[in-house]
Structure 1
Amino acid sequence: MRTKRIQLAEMLPYMVEKLDAQGQVIFTVAGRSMMPTLRDRVDRACIVGAPDCLSKYDMPLYIRDSGQYVLHRVVKVSIDGTYVLRGDHQYFSEPGIRQDQIIGVVKGFWRGGHYISCQNPWYRLYCRIWWLFYPLRYVVLRARGHMGRLMKKTNKNS
């Protein structure tokens, strides 16, 4: 099968039509914010229509107010009905995501040729463990970033 690379904005009307008809849309993810769960331009995600209310650990595809399309994980459902989202490879959360910004939610994904359902108990356990260790990951990722910048400065001065 031949694949064609197109911008998500071009595909959006067709995606919405398909999702509204209870269908699903499969596409290759782009970006590093969901690593290691979803790898940039390697893994594929299956998106279905979003329920009326998302749950913690769901992965919605949404549109920021700036018009940017993002696929991140729900880390909190706020009392006012908005969501706090964060990429698995991100330092900071994005609060205030409204239901009307949600296009769909990941039902499952293909990693290394294997389909992983987001309802799989092992995957759900992985999500809980991944977020349990967020404070430690935050420190490690920040330290690694600082070390990388320090090494670049050292190499420039040599």
Structure 2
Amino acid sequence: MRKSTFEEEIARNGFLLYRNVGDSMLPLIRQGKDLLLIARKPEGRLRKYDVPLYRRDSGQYVLHRILKVRENDYVICGDNRWRRETGITDRHIIGVLTAVIRDGQKLPVTDKRYQLYVHLWCDLLYLRAAVLWCRDLPGRIKRKLCQ
């Protein structure tokens, strides 16, 4: 039996419900614990703070947050990352996060608690980036020394 792709699931059902792999969206999304509800991509452009599920040209699926909407692409970054990604266009986007289900409780992206988290987390990006950069510094030094 062939597994279906995320694109096929969304086309068939109008949504995708799955558990993520990776830690790039911590602390909001915990790997293998939280369920994610991804809806079909809306018409038109996405907005700042939306969390699209997109497929990179390499074929890798990624779920990260939009930090800036530009004329031809988006500036995107994971909540647990400090490096921003550019060059993601509407053609890459498959769907958009509509809710996180944690411990059986549904947290829609329209919830006031979610909105507060998003603004605090994203509006303090430069402070968060400095903390994450410092956190990752020992690993970068170790990799340089082991080359």
Unaligned ranges ≥5, structure 2? 143-147
Q: Distance in 1 between matches of 2:16 and 2:55?
A: 16
Q: 1:109: Cα distance to partner? A: 0.9
Instruction: Name the counterpart of 2:113.
Output: 122
Q: Which amino acid aligns with 1:29?
A: N
Whether the aligned pair in 1 keeps the contact of 2:35 and 2:101 (CA below 8 Å) is yes
Q: 1:116: Cα distance to partner? A: 0.4
Q: Which amino acid aligns with 1:72?
A: H
Q: How many residues align?
A: 141
- Which of 69, 73, 77 is the equivalent residue of 2:69? 77
Instruction: Note if 1:58 corresponds to 2:35.
Output: no
- Which of 32, 36, 42 is the equivalent residue of 2:27? 36
Max radius of gyration: which structure? Answer: 1
Q: Distance in 2 between matches of 1:24 and 1:112?
A: 20
Identity %: 38
Unaligned ranges ≥5, structure 1? 1-5, 153-158
Tell me the SS of whatever aligns to 1:130.
helix
Instruction: Name the counterpart of 1:107.
Output: 98
Whether the aligned pair in 2 keeps the contact of 1:63 and 1:102 (CA below 8 Å) is yes
Q: 1:105: Cα distance to partner? A: 0.4
Q: Which amino acid aligns with 1:58?
A: D
Instruction: Name the counterpart of 2:15.
Output: 24
1:62/1:13 CA distance change after superposition, 3 Å:
closer
Runs of 4+ aligned residues of structure 1 deviating over 4 Å after TM superposition are: 147-150
Q: Which has the higher contact order (CA 8 A, sep 6+)?
A: 2
- Which of 11, 15, 26 is the equivalent residue of 2:5? 11
